[in-house]
Amino acid sequence: VDANGVPVSLKGNNDLLCFSKPDLVKDIHKEYFMGGSDICETNTFNGTTISQGEYKMQDVVYEMNKLGAELAKKAAAEVTKEQPHKPRFVAGAVGPTSRTLSVSPSVEDPSFRNVTWDELVEAYVDQIRGLHDGGVDLLMIETIFDTQNAKAAIYAVDEYFERTGKERLPVMISATIVDNSGRTLSGQTIEAFFVSVKHARAFTIGINCALGAAQMKKFYKTLSDINLGWCHVYPNAGLPNAMGGYDEDPDKFATNLLDYAQDGLLNFVGGCCGTFPSHIKAVADKVNGCPVRKLPELPKYPCMQLSGLEPCILTPDSGFQWVGERCNLMGSAKFKKLVDAYKWDEAMEVCLAQCDKKADILDFNFDSDLIDGKTAMGKFMRLCVTEPNVARLPFMIDSSKWPVIEEGLKCVQGKCIVNSISLKPGEAEFLAHAKQCMRFGAAVVIMAFDEQGQAATFEDKVRICQRSYKLLREKLNFPPEDIIFDCNVLTIATGLPEHNSYGIDFINAVAEIKRTCPCVSFSGGLSNLSFSFRGLTALRDAMHTVFLQHAVPKGLNMSIVNPGGLPRYQDIDAKTRKLCEEVILNKSDDGKHVERFLEFAEQVKNPPKNAGPAAGGGEGPAKDAWRNGTYVERLHHALVNGIDKFIDEDVEAARQDLQVPLHVIEGPLMQGMGIIGDLFGAGKMFLPQVIKSARVMKKAVGYLTPFMEEEKRQAALAAGEDPDAPKYNGVVLMATVKGDVHDIGKNIVGVVLGCNNYKVIDMGVMVPCDKILERAIQEKVDVIGLSGLITPSLDEMVHVAEQMQARGFKMPLMIGGATTSKRHTAVKLAPKYDGGVIHVLDASRSCTVVSSCLSSEKKSYLEDITDEYTEIRDEYYATLIDKQWKTLEQAQKMGPKIDWAQTPPKPKFVGNLMIKEHPIAEIAEYIDWTPFFQVYQLRGKYPNRDYPAIFKDDRVGKEAKKLFEEAKEMLDWIIKENILQASGVVGIHPCNSVGDDIEVYTSDKRDEVACKFYGLRQQLDMGEETYVCQSDFIAPKGVAEDYIAAFACTGGLGCAEQRKKFEETGDIDKAILLEALADRLAEAFAELIHLKIRKTLWAYAPDENLSLQDLLKVRYQGIRPAPGYPSQPDHREKKTMWDLLDIDKLSEGSLTLTESFMMLPGASVSALVFAHPQAKYFSVGQVNVDQVEAYSKRRGEAGVESTERWLGSTVLGYEKR
């Protein structure tokens, strides 16, 4: 029960099966062991208080994990007893939880997190306690989408065993690569992930889930190349299909993994989603006898490995590493001022500038007298990990206060450097801090300090660093490659003789420590060297460059500097370079180098008049080239690259040009977001970049908001409404459906939409359908968005769509989440709800979808989606191999429930009539021009797909306009010269349905059958509630008296003759245009005849008053399906209609049927007309053999051969005998 006293659904909480179905869980484990598994995981993937808290089941976490472990161990014991030669083991499954430390769920505050490091660690400790007490043999931290979560789990493992004093269990660590970008959901590459968790001393490190073996191999190969220990891989049974299942059978799955084995890549191998015991058995059989992956040789001198979103491996060939100092309160006055003023966005610009200047590592220091360093460090680190250009680099967490350092380490998923610790407080504290660095997986800077103070001389530097190294290696086995010594760069040329050797002493100390302490790195704060010359930036930069020129070859491989600020050694003028080298090396022929340097510095400070700049200089960088583009190009560049510096001026330029602020958003800004969606879909952008782009969009929309609010205010005043009511672009309700506790993707969508001025109502996770719909009504939302990660969520989404339909909802429904797909949405969801269902591929596209759903082009947009989804659905069922069928009897019982109280009235006219040479001018008013352009392959893109919007399309608009003018000119000529004639036959007759067929009677007495229209019923099992046949829309015999209308018409009389004339004169283009217009006239004539049937001939809708657009969008009552097409795909029915209407006689042979039941002239249309208000267009789709047999029998045929021939392979759902 939740806080409001409402019962919480436990659907989807599969870990509870350990309590409710223990024997089943144990037997499943046993099946996998018998299939060949050496190790099985416990059923505890969501066994933390955080994940179980979503179900209000956090109090049973310990028991859940203990019991889950005991059940698996019992299965292992039973199988081991049967097969003692092959002992079985149990891994305690530790999942990633439903929350993330690396992504913010807040629109307004990217530094906000809905879980803390400490909360996550304690949740994992509780889980590990239960698993350990249950007897697991090892722990499996798996399906890692956020490395920081995994680091918290690793920390919790150490924490638990340290608290209890028990022997540490082996740990397996498994990442999940979400797609072909090769990155985790939080943005890390597999190499960066490995580096980040390397400190865990894992039993194995590998990859599982998300991908199939074929897709996973290249990423696994990368991991196996870098991992010096054992590797594992347990992929899914291929990629998820559109229905949320997996298609690889055991043989294919095993064959894909055999490819790994034959390449010698495997130590441990298994299966994840979609893999059954049969898959495991197949793998075990396939790889048996293949060579085991040989562990790489351990390097004699391992090198430092760091990571952000990407790895940073410091090999001897890596060169010098620039550590950016501009986010150090002691290194940048500008940064300190911004932090003091809480201007975090501008502070981030300082950080980004270092990245642009090619910093390799970023230093962050918030030590200040009036700033809470711990709070500031935590906030800025959480901001930085959401900024992709920053997060890709390793971080150096810099503070003299240990709690500040710890706070930084709790926020960063990559492998950091701690700067710094030392022996100053004594050995015990020094070792305690070093141990914590190891537990966080951080490298560490060791300052050359001891209990007596700072090392200034060569001898002290070497002594203290060697002592520190020995303590770390002997007491903690600290990895030597993760040690960085800072031997104290001190200020030279102060005028005091004892300071003169500080530079060369540092250089020589580095060389000696490197010789005696293998594998270590060296750093130093260059600014200290030249501190005496503050204000003389060019001179100081020259000193730093010369210092590096001599220190780097001795072993200095990183330093805190202002990246991009140093001149090249060869670019320093000879005089300055010589003076710098003398003072740094403390060496000159006359020994007066310090005096000379001080004199030179004075000259630089007070140069003679007309003198040029000394010690470097030069012009700043030219203005960015992208700033020279159009405002559209500039806006797109800014959005894609996440640059908001110029966004206000570029948006203003767009506003001035487009006049209407909303047009700026719907035009260039939304186009830019579309580009981002394409890049994200192509794997060229990853999640943090999308969020950053959304925040630039937010700033752009924020600039336009006052203008839009003023427009709305004036409109509200004019309408007599409250002008001060909040104004949003729209209201979007979002929820993770019942049974699902995953909401990371949903939260990101919320960020993107919030940044675009949409009011987002986030209902959280595990939200029941009723609550979603009640809140939607209460908040008057414009769009509902459903999210889900697990497969059962798909069924819940279908239920929500069904309920929305049942309750008469009209707003569009967005669908998203890892298991969802466009295909599943088209097949399972779209048919359930008429208000519009749209699958949203990723967060970057949510904005364009919502914008389209709320724009003036909403109807056109949703109709485009409906058309696309119908094609996908038809294609899916047509190509489905393992089809499920309703029997004909079952399908007939599931026909739609029709209200026969609404049976249409008796027609004003009953019988047949001929419409001869109807005026073309009137028919032309009903032309649908959109298909006309498609004849010429002119297709605009939404929102410019249909006529007349196609004329605005950038690609085809100009040509379409030209063609339209030619067509209008020819149409005028056709009317004036009577080139074409339009004629038709219409009939209305009494009828009733008998089963799936329609009996048409000779008179209203209904005692003699004139003919029978035979029907085919939907039969392919598509999970629908109804299976439709066209007879369903006619009142059954004995229930009510009903009628059916039919017609055949042409707009092409005279077309063949005129076409021949055009061909004789070589005017082929005119001949084609004439035929295209004749087709349009035939369709328009059909529209007009149907209108006359509804309003006058039958008059079942006499008061209808619809525009042409309404008619074309089928907003009239009833339907007019054509025989031989989707509602009844048997063209032979056309002959029945022909005879009923007596067309050959009434048309005097001008309308005819061929032997294959095609109509002549070619520009002709025929249809049956159903008048009931519940009648709707549908497609029969495919039918099974039982229906074909029954249908043939009703038609009086001896066998099915004729029916099979006329229906063809597209309608038959089976192979003909």
Amino acid at 523: S
The token duo for 66 is 């203990």
C-alpha distances out from residue 236 to 206, 717, 1061, Å: 14, 59, 65
Tracing tokens 């409906």 back to the chain, one arrives at 866
Label residues 1194-1206 b or e (16+ Cβ within 10 Å = b).
eeeeeebeebbeb
Could you tell me how many residues make up the chain?
1217
C-alpha distances out from residue 1123 to 777, 1013, 1030, 1052, 1129, Å: 43, 10, 11, 20, 7
Sign of CA dihedral 611, 616, 621, 622: positive
Contact 144, 96 (CB under 8 A): yes
Helix, strand, or coil (residue 202): coil
Half-sphere exposure of 745 (CA within 13 A, CB side): 27
Spell out the residues 6+ positions from residue 1138 whose beta carbon is closer than 8 angstroms to its own.
1048, 1144, 1153
β-strands 1042-1053, 1164-1169 pairing: antiparallel
Contact 1052, 1152 (CB under 8 A): no
Question: DSSP states of 869-890 as a string?
Answer: HHHHHHHHHHH-SS--B--HHH
| Residue 883, Ramachandran bin (φ over 0: left; ψ between -120 and 50: alpha; else beta) | beta
Contact 226, 263 (CB under 8 A): no
Helix/strand/coil percentages in the chain, nearest 5: 45, 15, 40
Longest alpha-carbon distance in the chain:
132
Tracing tokens 């191998």 back to the chain, one arrives at 269
Among 91, 90, 68, 66, smallest CA distance to 79 is for 90
Q: From the candidates 593, 742, 824, 1090, which is the catalytic residue?
A: 742
Any idea what DSSP says for residue 723?
A: T
Please confirm, yes or no, whether 740 is among the known catalytic residues: yes
- Residue 758's H or E segment, with its range, is strand 758-762
Among 1147, 1153, 909, 1148, smallest CA distance to 1045 is for 909
Please confirm, yes or no, whether 636 is among the known catalytic residues: no
Among 606, 420, 616, smallest CA distance to 522 is for 420
Sign of CA dihedral 100, 102, 107, 112: positive
The token duo for 836 is 């519009």
Spell out the residues 6+ positions from residue 970 whose beta carbon is closer than 8 angstroms to its own.
1070, 1073, 1074, 1077
Q: From the candidates 104, 468, 793, 844, which is the catalytic residue?
A: 793
Among 1171, 1170, 1153, smallest CA distance to 1162 is for 1153
CA distance 324 to 560: 6
CA distance 544 to 1213: 79
Question: DSSP states of 348-395 as a string?
Answer: HHHHHHHHHTT-SEEEEE---SSS-HHHHHHHHHHHHTTSHHHHTS-E
Number of C-beta neighbours around residue 860 at 10 A:
19
CA distance 152 to 455: 36
How many degrees, rounded to 5, is the angle at CA 394 between CA 407 and CA 157? 50
Q: From the candidates 15, 460, 650, 740, which is the catalytic residue?
A: 740
CA distance 1030 to 1044: 11
- CA 895 remoteness from chain centre: 39
The token duo for 1091 is 């209108």
Contact 416, 408 (CB under 8 A): yes
Active site residues: 740, 742, 793
